[in-house]
Amino acid sequence: MAGACPYGDLFEHIDRGNVECLNESPERPVSNIFPTSDSGSTGNCLESDTDEELLLNIPFRQNVKVYSLEFTAPNDGRKPNGIKVFINQSNLAFEDCESLPALQDIELDWSPAGDVQKAVVLTRFVKFQSVNTIHLYVKSNTEDSPTTCLSGLTILGVANGDQFKWNPKQG
């Protein structure tokens, strides 16, 4: 299959019990953006509480290489626009995100995907080779809405060491 992405969803490597989000609405927490174990679909959405900013801290159970980030959001002005990506920080707060240089600073380019919008961002892969925690600072949304809403996040990559496992189906 030419051109297929050799990387997979890193969901199984996320330490879901320690994922946290600053400024999340209690009614729409960060757990909503990850697949549920039963259906494979996400919950409603993650929504900010007091303003448009969100700070997601997503730890992994082992070091991973992150190839891309895929965001899904409602088709309205609450979808994220500007995001700063950091890795392997401890106790990252909003003030840190504003003062520290991001590993990657992105503006999302949204495309229709059925009833929602989708944005895919390729990381600067060489800088994302040994990630134990990824931090996503959502600094703005697309239409200066009072809150930001994210309905899905897929992190594509490979767990360190997995790229060397022999697969008899591939040879």
Encode 99-154 in three state secondary structure: HCCCCEEEECCCEEECCEEEEEEECCHHHCCCEEEEEEEECCECCCCCCCEECEEE
Give the pLDDT score at 111: 95
Helix, strand and coil in the chain, % to nearest 5: 15, 45, 45
8 A C-beta contact, residue 73 and residue 110? yes
Instruction: Record the tokens describing residue 88, joined without a space.
Output: 């392997």
Q: Does 43 have pLDDT greater than 90?
A: no
Give the pLDDT score at 4: 60
Q: Does 3 have pLDDT greater than 80?
A: no
Maximal C-alpha separation, the chain: 53
Instruction: Indicate the pLDDT class of residue 49, thresholds 50, 70 and 90.
Output: very high
Give the pLDDT score at 44: 82
What mean pLDDT do residues 85-107 have?
A: 94
Give the pLDDT score at 40: 46
pLDDT tens figures, 99-140:
999 999 999 999 999 889 999 999 999 999 999 999 999 999
Rounded CA separation 88/77 (Å): 31
Q: Does 63 have pLDDT greater than 50?
A: yes
CA distances from 42 to 28, 30, 36, 98, 101 (A): 12, 11, 6, 30, 31
Q: Please provide the average confidence, as pLDDT, over all residues in the chain.
A: 88
What is the percent of the chain where pLDDT is above 70?
87
